[in-house]
């Protein structure tokens, strides 16, 4: 499937064997609950997109998320060291997408946020997913995994009266890479770390809660 939104302006629904080439939300025939066609501004304001890359191991837990909610782009990254109870946590916000790039191609593109000397980047290249974090305190995370032996869940569903959401998720995939921070230096393969990944976009409920866990 090359595009999620069909020629009639409606999304395809269901569980798909593979990701769509593009979530072409601009082609969506967006209407009010009473059936009135809504304009480009309303369509842009209601479209939200986020992506999350998480790491889990006995020695280190971490994650990075980027969210584009039209008027604001936000990102966060955290690392937690269970043995010491220490945590690094940073959050960044940019108005109107300044310093941010968001691809609408789930398996082919980059989502990133730059804020000063800080960079959060999630890169998807076919079956390979990569995370790069560079912070002004010296923290650096390079992580990646391949979905070669896994089939992600790719699902599109209606939401509320006039919305829809496409979600693509995978969990429990062995992860490679390295982490350098004030918590220490870690080799993710040596830690036997696992990754989980979520790419979601669409017209979500305004009261949507984004809780990431694995």
Name the residue ranges covered by the structural domains of the chain: 14-202
Q: What is the pLDDT of residue 149?
A: 80
17: left (phi over 0), alpha (psi -120 to 50) or beta: alpha
- Reported as a pLDDT band with limits 50, 70 and 90, residue 213 is low
Instruction: Read off the pLDDT of residues 28-55 as tens digits, 9 standing for 90 and up.
Output: 999 999 999 999 999 999 999 999 999 9
Predicted confidence at residue 147, as pLDDT, reads 85
pLDDT of 150: 81
Give the percent of the chain with pLDDT over 90. Answer: 90
Q: What is the pLDDT of residue 151?
A: 87
pLDDT > 70? residue 175: yes
* pTM, rounded to two decimals: 0.93
Between residues 110 and 151, the one the model is more confident about: 110
SS3 76: strand
Contacting residues for 196 by C-beta, under 8 A, at least 6 apart: 52, 53, 54, 56, 169, 170, 171, 172, 173, 214
Name the DSSP class of 138.
S
Q: How far apart are CA 208 and CA 110, in angstroms?
A: 24
Whether residue 205 is predicted with pLDDT greater than 90 in this model: the reply is no
| pLDDT of 155 | 97
pLDDT by residue (tens digit) across 162-171?
999 999 999 9
Give the architecture-level CATH label for domain 14-202: Beta Barrel (2.40)
What pLDDT sits at residue 214? 53
Q: pLDDT-based confidence at 79, cuts 50/70/90?
A: very high
Q: DSSP assignment of 65-113, as one string?
A: EEEE-SSEEEEEEEEEETTTTEEEEEEEEEETTTTEE--S-TTEEEEEE
């Amino acid at each position: 499937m090359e595009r999620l939104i069909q020629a009639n302006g409606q999304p395809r629904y269901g569980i798909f064997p593979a990701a769509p080439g593009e979530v072409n939300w601009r082609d969506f025939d967006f209407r009010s609950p009473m059936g009135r066609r809504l304009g480009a501004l309303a369509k842009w304001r209601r479209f939200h997109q986020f992506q999350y890359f998480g790491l889990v191991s006995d020695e280190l837990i971490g994650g990075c998320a980027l969210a584009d909610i039209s008027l604001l782009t936000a990102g966060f990254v955290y690392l937690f060291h269970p043995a010491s109870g220490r945590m690094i946590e940073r959050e960044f916000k940019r108005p109107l997408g300044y310093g941010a790039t968001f691809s609408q191609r789930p398996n082919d593109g980059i989502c990133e946020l730059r804020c000063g000397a800080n960079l959060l980047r999630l890169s998807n290249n076919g079956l390979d997913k990569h995370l790069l974090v560079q912070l002004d305190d010296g923290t650096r995370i390079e992580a990646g995994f391949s979905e070669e032996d896994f089939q992600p869940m790719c699902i599109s569903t209606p939401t509320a009266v006039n919305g829809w959401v496409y979600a693509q998720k995978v969990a429990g995939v062995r992860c490679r890479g390295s982490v350098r921070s004030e918590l220490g230096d870690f080799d993710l393969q040596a830690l036997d770390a696992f990754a989980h990944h979520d790419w979601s976009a669409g017209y979500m409920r305004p009261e949507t809660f984004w809780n990431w866990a694995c």
